[in-house]
Structures are given as C-alpha cells and as structure tokens.
Structure 1
Amino acid sequence: MIIVTGGTGFIGSNLVRALNQRGERDIVIVEDLKRPADPRIVASLAFAQLVDYRDFVADLPAWEGRGVRAVFHQGACSDTMVHDGAYMLERNFVFSLRLFEFCLGRCPLLYASSAAVYGRGEAGFREEGECEWPLNAYAFSKYLFDRHVRGEEKRRGGFQTQVVGLRYFNVYGPQENAKGRMASLLFQFHAQALEHGKLRIFAGSDGFLRDFVSVDDVVAVNLDFLEHPERSGIFNCGSGTARSFQELAELAASHYPGPDGTPGACGVETIPFPAQLAGRYQAHTLADLSRLRASGCTVPCTSLEEGVSRYVEVLQATGGYHPPAAVHPNPGK
C-alpha cells in the first residue's frame, strides 16, 4: 500500500497516475473532503481508497498493520495569499508532524516542501539555513517543518527509514485545474488566449525570472528517491535554469491564434503590477541542484520549450486534464 496525501490535487494526481503506470493500484489518497475534488481529475486515477485527512489522522494507529510501503505527502494549503497563520500551521505543519511520526522507522516519507522558504532569494537558493527567509504564512509553515526534520535528524543521528523533502520551484503541467489563482501562468495564459486572443503579464515581467519545472520532472524525482531508500535529506526540485515571465508568455503565445484566427499570432499585453503584491513577490528563483545531483539523482530536466509545447497540447486537447484511468477508482475497496 502507498499513501498519497493531496492525491487529487495537481502534483499529487500526477504522482498517482505515474504510480498507476507502474502497475500500482493499492493506493490510498488522503484529501480534505470538505473541498470537493475535481471529478475529471479523480476519473484519471486508479486507487483503492479515498480518505479525509481528519479521519486519517484520528485513526493513524489503525494504519500501522496495513502494510504501508511509502507515504508521499503532497497535501497542503498552497495559497500564498492566505494570511491565517493558525490555519496554515494546522494544515501544513501539524498534519505533517503526525505523518512524520507515523513514518519514522516504519516506511519512507517523501514530502513536498517549497522554494517559497527562500523568500526573495537574496542569500541564494541553497538548502541551508542562511538562505531561508520565508515571506508569508505558507512559506513559514513549510520552513517550520523542514526545520523540524533537520532537528530530528541531528538529534537522532540520522533516520532509520527514508525522509525526503523536495523544495518545488515553479511547477507547471496537466491537472492544475483546481488551483484557481495559484495555477501556473501557462494555465492562466490558456484561458486568456481563448477569451481575448492575447496574453497578459505584469509590467516588468522581462525582469521577473523563475525556475519553471515540468510536473513530469517533479514526479520523476519523487519516484527516483522512492527507488533509492538509502537517500534522505532536503533537496531543491527545479530545472536549474531561470527564465523570464516575458519569455514564458512569448513561448505560450506562439502556440495560439490571434484574435483574427491567424496561427501563432496571439499577442502579449502588459498590465500594471498589483499593489498588494509589492514586497511579497519573488523577483527571481533559481534552484541550486548541487545537493540533488550529489545525492545520486540524475533525472534530466525538460527544457521550457519542450515543456510548454507538451502542456499547451494537453490544454488545447482536454482543457488540461489527463484521460480517464483504465481502472476506475473504487473508494470502497
């Protein structure tokens, strides 16, 4: 049995799908069932059970004898505009602590951290305390759990079972339909192109640089660590290359027609930078992959050109969804 928290979300659903492609069906998805999952995402997955995270935490001891082989912890509140610190800590820190305690000495824990812990990145993007300056409640909740993991590893002199934290940078790809305002720019560009025949970016976007990473690469890194349980630690998970929002928009625009239907003639329009984001916006991100590569992970990085082309193809074909699973979910199994 493999447990995937956030398994009907963006990265989690892509991870479940990749596990399905490896023949895995005994998968338990743990979600916040008070927030209805996107039915088209659920239909793309094959799994054994769907459990609310509150029930899962309350019943954790009962899972001890069920043969859990690994836990992929992808579930979290990832909205960087949520300012309720208590809510963020309960969802992203306390829940993670319970999973951590459950997995120690029992099975691998591979969890989602975030590049948001680096704040503006003025000290660099290395997995070191001197680089970590979270700017919002979401980033702080991720930082706290990373710090706890580090502290426990030092206190215990290492872990008996694998614990891996992956600091995701700007991830894009299929199945992010339910992310709303937190969806990638590529997802937002698709809607803009269909509605307006042009894309919109903030003023100064030629100077806003991001490490854009394909969700396929993120999933591949997770599975690579699963195959090597001797590896533990906190690692950056990005492409190792920074590209501007302007470049991203121009790449995306080349795949859409203009207002008159001319192929590849979709324009790019500049709009004012929102005042509410002033001081809260990362001007630059770039994953330092030195530690990841030193661990032995050699998963190649998809170029932005290839990644954009593949994702836009899915967006234009299905609106961003993967096709239905060959074996449909059976939550009652």
Structure 2
Amino acid sequence: MKYSDIDFNDKTILITGGAGFIGSNLAFYFQENYPNALVVILDCFRSGETLSNGNLKSFGHYKNLLGFKGVVISGDINDTKLLKKLETEYKFDYIFHQAAISDTTVNEQDLMIKTNVNAYEDLLKLAIAHQANMVYASSAATYGDAPSPQTVGCENPGNVYGFSKLMMDNISYEYIKAGAEISIVGLRYFNVYGPREFFKNKTASTVVQFGHQILAGKTPRLFEGSDKILRDFIYIEDVIQANIKACVPKQSGVYNVGTGKARSFQDIADILQKELGTNLGTEYIPNPYIGQYQFHTEANIESSIEQLGYVPQFEMEEGIKAYIPEIKRLFETEVK
C-alpha cells in the first residue's frame, strides 16, 4: 500500500539502521512500491560485541534484509570518514535516520550521546548539503514519567536514551529555526511491534515474546497488575505510514507516532491466545520496576494528524492478527 502521492522512483534514499526493525521495513516498502528507487542501507551489523548490560551493541541482522535488492553498506554512523564518502559518492533525495543505540538500559552515556546526538548532527549536515529531506527516529522515551496523553513540549526523560533523543530534537529545532532549506521531521515512536523485530532479542516487543511463550505451551508471565499497566502499542505498518507522510510535512518539527489509545499488557496476552487458539491462562509475577516504570503512555497525535496527515490504521486486535503468521514462522525457524 502506498502512503503518499510522492513518486520515489528514480530517487536516491539513504536508510541508516537499515538492517534493524524499522529500517528494514522501510527498505522493503520502497522496494515493493518504487522499484526504480535506489535504496542505500547503512548499518552497523551485529558482531557479537556487547555493552556493560550484556546486550548486543548492534541488533542489525542480515536476515531482516533477505530479498533486498538495493545497496548495503556495513559501517558506523560515528565514522566521519564514512559519512564524507557517502556525501561525495551519492546524491540523496531523502534520508531516513533509524540508526541509534536504542536499548534504554544502556549505561554507557558517552557512547549514547556520541552515537545518538553527535552523529545525528553530522548526518543532518550531510542532508542539508544534498538538499535531502530528513526523517529521523525520536522516541516516546523523551517523555519519561510525564502524564498522559504525552504531548510534544512536555518532556521529562528518565534515562540517557530518552535524554539523547530529546537532544536530537533540540538540534533539529535549531536547524529549523535557522532556516534549513530541507524538511526536518522527528518521529517519536511509542511501543512498536511487528515483523522484523525478532532480532532485537530481549528488547523485542512483548507481543512476539508472549507469542512464542504461548506457542511453546507456556503460560504467559505478566507483572502483577498488568491489566492496569497501559502502553500505546503501534503496529509497524502505521510507523511506515508516518515515515512516508513525514517526507513532505506541512511543517518541519517533532511529532508523536502512536495510536492515541493506551492498551494493557493483559490485552496483548488475551488477544494472542484468542488468535492462537489457546487457553493457557496468565501467570502473575512481582513487578521489580515499581518506581522506575511508566504505567501509562498514550500519544497525543493531534499535530501528527494535522501536519503529517497521519492516521493510524491498526487497532491492537488487527495488528496482532496481521502479525500472527510471522510469529508462527519465527517460532518454527528461529525458536524451536
């Protein structure tokens, strides 16, 4: 499905983090809908290197790109020589910046700021040099424990990841204010789920994790009170829609990408069991994150609707139903 009247054929498109969850879905959106577009993927593919929390430094995986026919470049966005090479060897029309350290539990503040903040400004300068419209991944983590509905301008990040994304937004506002001759749009993703997230490992959504627990015959394990822990869960197709519509916004700026509806973790478990035809019940365990855990997120998407023309298409029931075949395939090929 095409989400815009823009003809991306014969355009050159850079997707950073293109072997990751959202980046790879964007790559295939262009390949399937605009076969004459040149799509260039830059990703720091996983190497086995881990951070102090034990998680992988990079989640990029070649399996997310099986069937991709564009250009794939392995590299780090912190490499200024590489960015210079991209600037001289290509002439980009659009840049979708999805690359980041996205693990919210990372302790390395220096690496987080260098990768998420400083490298972004370098890439933004490249976009301006090429007159390429910039769409980049911000995050609902910028809001921290701000009350719902979370609204742009009411940020209170609770970790260095959220802080780094807020700094990216601040940089964008400065360039917009200075009259940058490109559109610059930051998209604050809420809780995204869907195909090609599996290789995020422990940071993949509870949708796929619960799905695989259920397929293994295990009772899904939820924190106590999960019927009252609410999040704005958004299916990947709506995130792709937002990215495409952000290419030519009415106004550059930062926008929320959610459904505008909070749903519970209990809802996820219940919908999955209905779709998978099981009745395993639910096991409740103590929540160790009380006091450092968001208990309610809900995106205020009024400005996203008005300025981007973004309207979410998938209720949670529809998103999970669409995801079920991929959850089953992954269970057979990657989990069992």
How would you bin the TM-score normalised by the shorter chain?
A: 0.7 to 0.9
C-alpha contact 1:109 1:163 (8 A) present in aligned 2: yes
Q: How many angstroms apart in 2 are the aligned matches of 1:244 and 1:225?
A: 29
* TM-score, scaled relative to structure 1: 0.86
1:328 maps to none
Residue 283 of structure 2 is aligned to residue 269 of structure 1: yes
SS, match of residue 227 in structure 2: coil
Pick from 138, 159, 165: which aligns with 1:136?
Answer: 159
2:319 maps to 307
SS, match of residue 125 in structure 1: coil
Pick from 183, 189, 198: which aligns with 1:162?
Answer: 183
Residue 215 of structure 2 is aligned to residue 194 of structure 1: yes
> CA offset at residue 35 of structure 1?
3.1
Unaligned runs of 5+ in 2: 1-11, 49-59
Pick from 70, 73, 84: which aligns with 2:108?
Answer: 84
Residue 2 of structure 2 is aligned to residue 2 of structure 1: no
Q: How many angstroms apart in 1 are the aligned matches of 2:193 and 2:148?
A: 25
Q: How many angstroms apart in 2 are the aligned matches of 1:217 and 1:202?
A: 28
C-alpha contact 2:257 2:299 (8 A) present in aligned 1: yes
1:32 maps to 44
SS, match of residue 220 in structure 2: strand
1:127 maps to 152
Specify whether residues 54 and 96 from structure 1 end up closer, same or farther in structure 2 by C-alpha distance, changes over 3 A only. closer
Specify whether residues 57 and 51 from structure 1 end up closer, same or farther in structure 2 by C-alpha distance, changes over 3 A only. farther
> CA offset at residue 316 of structure 1?
1.1
Q: Deviations over 1:257-305 (max 9, x none)?
A: xxxxxx332322111112xx33321111000011111204143331111
2:245 maps to 224
SS, match of residue 26 in structure 2: helix
Residue 182 of structure 2 is aligned to residue 171 of structure 1: no
* TM-score, scaled relative to structure 2: 0.86
2:5 maps to none
Pick from 16, 26, 36: which aligns with 1:15?
Answer: 26
Larger relative contact order (CA 8 Å, sep ≥ 6): 1
> CA offset at residue 107 of structure 1?
0.7
- 1:272 maps to amino acid: P
Residue 66 of structure 2 is aligned to residue 43 of structure 1: yes
> CA offset at residue 53 of structure 1?
2.1
SS, match of residue 106 in structure 2: coil
> CA offset at residue 141 of structure 1?
0.7
C-alpha contact 2:232 2:258 (8 A) present in aligned 1: yes
> CA offset at residue 178 of structure 1?
1.2
Specify whether residues 304 and 315 from structure 1 end up closer, same or farther in structure 2 by C-alpha distance, changes over 3 A only. same
SS, match of residue 2 in structure 1: strand
> CA offset at residue 102 of structure 1?
1.3
Unaligned runs of 5+ in 1: 257-262, 322-333
Specify whether residues 34 and 186 from structure 1 end up closer, same or farther in structure 2 by C-alpha distance, changes over 3 A only. closer
